[in-house]
A and B are shown apart, each in its own frame.
Chain A
Amino acid sequence: MSETSPQPRIISGETGWYETDLPRVIRPYRSHPLRTLAAISLVLAMASLLGISSAYLVIEREQPLDAVTIGPWHAYPKAGTAEADPYSVAIYTRGAVIPLASGEGLALVAREDSAGHLLDPTCVYRIAGQTPSARLWTLTAVDGRGDLVETLSGRVHVVSQNLLRAPDGTFEITAATAPHSGNWLPLAAEASASDGLRFVLRLYDAPVTTGAALDGVSMPVIERTGCP
């Protein structure tokens, strides 16, 4: 029909402004309450999802932010004190963890070996070198959640006082499921790679309980010597 054919545009009166073929910027805005509501709810839902899941991930990783790192070892000297950052406060209170206070000692955790690979409880590791000076230290193997695990010998740790050492004071510990000669740190008897592994080195009565004193101290290296 002739009425439907394109006509020269004549804007007459107010209704003409609602023509859809006007350029977008000068087209009048008519709000759609439902669309606005949908947009706001989408923003709210996405923001809650992002905010809560990112908080959960950071807390669940159980790695406080202000770590002091020496090779594969991490220490959190400020966690569990009044100066702790909000993340480590959340992590420590959620886990009901009682930290080693600075007058007692310092705990260092390794989640990776010196080459940067995640520790695997089915592998064999060589932990060698020396620790910062401490009156006593213990090395414990725990799983990825920080829990102790059953081992073949029933022992889950080695103590500095019972170590065999080289004449120059360095030591070499073999961490493995099966018994080894020398210093043996037993790992989980029945473990799969997904269980995870952490080494926890606790230095008792050590001068290096503050972060600054940890710069330049020598820590043992962790080398993977074999995997099944």
Chain B
Amino acid sequence: MTLSPRFTLTVGILATLCLAAIIHILVVLSIPRNVQHSAYDNIASYGTDRQFNLLPDVKPGQEVLPDLDPAMKHAACRFQLDDGPVLFDASIPVSFWSIGLFNAAGEAVYSLNNRTAGAERLSMLVLTTQQLSILRENPPENLEDLIVIETPEPISGFALLRAYVPHASRAEEVDGALQAARCGTI
């Protein structure tokens, strides 16, 4: 027997739509894995890992990373927890600063600002659960004062430190504070 042309057409259109939906989902899901330049890769071009690198000022036409605030200065630090715990230490004398921790996929892991940090000084330790248990056997004396961020897996990622520049005359001071910020071993 032969199918009527209308039935064949309907089946064809349905098949096309179902297949199109599957392809749509596959394309959307495959984009994150096929991105050429993630934020994690881009940051590597501003200096070596495990130290805060000052990003150039956010100005029209020379934006280093998309979607940054022109009212802020930024410093970024790439780290890999496989190489050991990372200690962030910074003292920035402005009314607002914040730090965000992101994994290599660009997802926020942890974030705080100078009010939630509870102190004028940022001292934050990022390590894996395993590294923390090793560290507890022989704790450094200031461990109690640190903000300790524990991750189950040894993640690779980056930290972005944002500091508000209240006035252009304070820009150099903020630059200095961001350059002096530490991102390294304990």
The distance in angstroms between the C-alpha atoms of A102 and B110, with both chains bound, is 8
Contact B95 A103 (CB under 8 A): no
Question: Chain B residue with minimal CB distance to A90?
Answer: B31
Q: A93-B105, A97-B66 are in contact. Are A52 and B98 (CB under 8 A)?
A: no
**A104 x B100 contact (CB < 8 A):** yes
Q: Which of A39, A46, A49, A93 contacts B38 (CB 8 A)?
A: A93
**A51, B21: Cβ atoms under 8 Å?**
yes
A96–B38 touching, CB < 8 Å:
yes
Known: A29-B1, A48-B23, A93-B38. A99 touches B108 (CB 8 A): yes
Measured in the bound complex, the distance between the Cα atoms of B4 and A55 in whole Å is 33
Instruction: Scan A93-114; emit 1 where CB is below 8 A from any B CB, else 0.
Output: 1111111111111010000000
Q: Is the CB of B35 within 8 A of A135?
A: no
Within 8 A of B (CB), among A109-167: 135-136, 138, 140, 146-151, 156-157, 159, 161
Q: Is the interface of A mostly helix, strand, loop or mixed?
A: mixed
Size of A's binding interface in residues, CB under 8 A: 63
Nearest residue (CB) in B for A202 is B69
Q: Which residues of chain B in 139-168 are interfacial with respect to chain A, using CB atoms and an 8 Å cutoff?
A: 160, 162, 164, 166
Q: A59-B31, A148-B59 are in contact. Are A97 and B39 (CB under 8 A)?
A: yes
Size band of the B side of the interface?
A: 35 or more
Assess whether B115 is in contact with A205, with CB atoms less than 8 Å apart. yes
B contact residues around A148 at 8 Å (CB): 58-61, 63, 70
Cβ of A84 within 8 Å of any chain B Cβ, yes or no, is: yes
Contact A96 B39 (CB under 8 A): yes
Is there a chain B Cβ closer than 8 Å to A27's Cβ? yes
A157 to B164, CA, bound (A): 13
Question: Which A residues are CB-close (under 8 A) to B8?
Answer: 39
Are B19 and A43 neighbours in the complex by a CB distance under 8 Å? yes
Q: Is A199 an interface residue (CB 8 A)?
A: no
Q: How many A-B residue contacts, CB cutoff 8 Å?
A: 187
In the docked arrangement, what's the CA distance between A95 and B31, Å?
11
Main DSSP-derived SS at the B contact region: mixed
Q: How far is the CB of B134 from chain A (nearest CB, A)?
A: 26
Q: Are A29 and B2 in contact (CB under 8 A)?
A: yes
Return the chain B residue nearest A189 by Cβ: B60
Kindly list chain A residues whose C-beta atoms are within 8 Å of the C-beta of B88: none
- Given contacts A103-B111, A103-B113, are A46 and B1 in contact (CB under 8 A)? no
Measured in the bound complex, the distance between the Cα atoms of B15 and A27 in whole Å is: 25
The interface bits of chain A over 43-85 (1 if a CB of B lies within 8 angstroms of the residue's CB, else 0) are 1101111111011101100000000000000000000111010
B186 at the interface (CB under 8 A from A): no
Instruction: Give A residues with C-beta under 8 Å from B.
Output: 24-29, 39, 42-44, 46-52, 54-56, 58-59, 80-82, 84, 86-87, 89-90, 92-105, 107, 135-136, 138, 140, 146-151, 156-157, 159, 161, 200, 202, 204-205
